[in-house]
Amino acid sequence: MGRAKISLRNGITVEYAAASYALDPKGQAKADYTFVSHAHLDHVQTPDPGSKVLASKETRLLAKARGFDLGKTTETADDVNLLDSGHILGARAICIGDEVLYTGDAAGRDRAFLGRCRTKKARVLITESTFGRSNYVFPPVSQIVKDVNSTIGMLFDKGRPVVLMGYALGKSQILSHLFASWSPFYVHEKVAEINDVYGQCGVSLRMGKVVGADLEGLSPGPWVMVAPMMSSRSKVAQRLKKEHDAALVAFSGWAADPGYAYSIGADYAFAVSDHCDYNELLGLVKEVSPEQVYTTHGFTAEFAQDLRKLGFDAKPLSGYQAFLSDY
């Protein structure tokens, strides 16, 4: 089989064995296949009608819940393997031949009901590098769960409610699973919407009582609520603080930055991420053992530079406007 040709048209396009594959294109892309790695809005679009859509069933359902119709999707095609990337429910990496592995967004460890990104050996690796700088190393999830539970316990002792904040799709479902044993337990309506789709896909999450943006129905006294990430300056956060004396707890990989909690006005922040941390990114690259690495998203230049020091031929993808490789 020939070698793949990789180009940047509306994102990344791979040509391999007479077929073309648009990987998470930014808009409709004219390609034989459009690969949608997962349902986060920076990866989802309405695909070109002439293009077959490679995506998981979960991604199709989650995209639909967010207003994007992927149409008919398939998980199988000649020369293609979709691998669970562990990032959110249904997230996939794609391996084309044994030539190109594209990770999409990839997790580096087990969290609740999700695992880490599966890999395969490939000649070319296109990897995400969101946390591709050496200061982004996250503590074990078990340690964070312990720390969060003792923080909630301490706040409950003072009679204070706790708002656990993460991205509505992905992080909030992990939080709904990890901290479901607290009571009373509330779920913001935006989170409940997604928890519902997870339920349809076989991951049942504790719903508790669903609370709308008007915050009607919250009981007095301590409780736990899972809510979308919000700044302390938002109206809802202001009301949660003023009317309920609630503590805001943020969950993000960026919490590895010491100033993160302060920057968004959260009372506490914990580094739970749906992406690989720096060491996990290095581990992923070593596993795939590629001849060529392209980095995309986040610290592309820094991570590629660190990989070159380790002997990999690595380049950031963002800097390339023309054909990357022409064999």
Binding region for Zn ion (CB under 5 A): 40, 105
CB 128 within 8 A of CB 275: yes
CB of 143 to Zn ion, least distance (A): 24
Q: Which is nearer to Zn ion, 119 or 130 (CB)?
A: 130
Cα dist from 216 to 209, 236, 242, whole Å? 11, 11, 15
Structure tokens at 97: 């031949």
State the number of CA atoms in the 13 A half-sphere of 195 facing the CB: 24
C-alpha 179/C-alpha 187 separation (Å) is: 11
CB of 105 to Zn ion, least distance (A): 4
Q: Which is nearer to Zn ion, 24 or 306 (CB)?
A: 24
Cα dist from 66 to 7, 86, 144, 161, whole Å? 29, 20, 30, 29
SS3 83: strand
CB of 40 to Zn ion, least distance (A): 3
Q: Is 293 left (phi over 0), alpha (psi -120 to 50) or beta?
A: beta
Q: Which is nearer to Zn ion, 40 or 244 (CB)?
A: 40
Amino acid 179 reads: F
Strands (DSSP E) found in 85-214 = 92-96, 100-102, 124-129, 162-166, 185-188, 209-211
Q: Which is nearer to Zn ion, 58 or 105 (CB)?
A: 105
Q: Which is nearer to Zn ion, 89 or 211 (CB)?
A: 89
Q: Which is nearer to Zn ion, 130 or 176 (CB)?
A: 130
CB of 104 to Zn ion, least distance (A): 7
Q: Which is nearer to Zn ion, 208 or 253 (CB)?
A: 253
Q: Which is nearer to Zn ion, 59 or 73 (CB)?
A: 59
Parallel/antiparallel/unpaired status of strands 292-298 and 124-129: parallel
Distance from the first to the final alpha carbon of the chain: 12
C-alpha 278/C-alpha 56 separation (Å) is: 27
CB of 155 to Zn ion, least distance (A): 30
Please give the DSSP secondary-structure letter assigned to residue 142: H
CB 43 within 8 A of CB 36: yes
CB of 112 to Zn ion, least distance (A): 17
CB of 57 to Zn ion, least distance (A): 18
CB of 149 to Zn ion, least distance (A): 27
